[in-house]
Amino acid sequence: MEHVVLLDDAGRAIGTEPKATVHTTVTPLHLAFSAYVFDREGNVLITRRALGKTTWPGVWTNSCCGHPAPDEPLEQAVRRRMIEELGIDTDDVSLVLPSFRYRAVMDSGIVENEICPVFRVLYNGPRPSPDPSEVESFEWIDWQDFLSRGLSGDREMSPWCREQVQQLRRLGRDPLRWPTAPAAALPPAAREGSQLDGSLS
C-alpha cells in the first residue's frame, strides 16, 4: 500500500497516511511534486488526467505529478513516477520551484492540500507510453503557446498547474535556460527523503 508523507505548516514530516484515503473534504497537508517534461526544442509534454482519477479527472495538466514514499528522495520519486505514469526515463531532472504550495477544492468538496516542489525534466527519448489509468491523452506543445492558453482560460487546467505556470513564467521565456534552485530551499521533509520524526502512522 502506498503512503504519502504528512506535513506540519513548516513543511516538516509528522506521519504518513495511505494514498488511497488521504484525499477527502479535509485532506491534510502532505508532500507531493510536479514535473514539466521538455524536449530539446522547448516543447512541453502536457497530459489530460484519466477520467477515473479521484481529483480533477479529465482536465489538462503538467506532464506528471506524484507523491514521494516515506524516506524517498524527491528526484528519485520524480524518475519513478515518470516511468510508472508516462513510460519514460531520464536522469536530467532539475528543481525549479522548491517551495510551491497550494490548496484547491473540487465542486464535490474533495480537497488537494500539498507542498509540491516543481521540477523541470529534459527528455529526448522514445514516444511516451502513458498508463491509461493515469493519463487519458497527451500532447507536446510549444511552451509559449501553453502559457497563453493556460493563462487565458482557453483550456481547462488543473488548479495547481494554473498556479505553477504563473510562477514558472517569471523564470524566463526559455524553459531550457531556467535557473535551478538549491536543494536547501526544499521543505524540511523533502531535503533528504522524508526523515519522519517519531513512528509512522
How many residues are given for the chain?
201
Residues of the chain with pLDDT below 70 are 192-201
Top-level CATH class of 3-190? Answer: alpha beta
pLDDT at residue 192, as a whole number: 62
The 10s digit of each residue's pLDDT in 41-97 is 999 999 999 999 989 999 999 999 999 999 999 999 999 999 999 999 998 999 999
pLDDT at residue 148, as a whole number: 85
pLDDT at residue 193, as a whole number: 54
pLDDT at residue 171, as a whole number: 97
pLDDT at residue 10, as a whole number: 96
For residues 201, 56, 81 and 124, what is the CA-based torsion angle, rounded to 10 degrees? -160
Catalytic residues: 65, 114
Provide DSSP, 162-176.
HHHHHHHGGG-S-GG
Nearest 5°: phi and psi at 37? Answer: -95, 130
Longest dimension (CA), the chain: 47
Asked if 175 and 168 touch (Cβ cutoff 8 Å), the reply is yes
What is the chain's alpha carbon radius of gyration, rounded to the nearest angstrom?
A: 16
Q: Is 56 left (phi over 0), alpha (psi -120 to 50) or beta?
A: left
pLDDT at residue 191, as a whole number: 87
pLDDT at residue 189, as a whole number: 95
In this prediction the pTM is: 0.93
For residues 189, 195, 197 and 201, what is the CA-based torsion angle, rounded to 10 degrees? 90
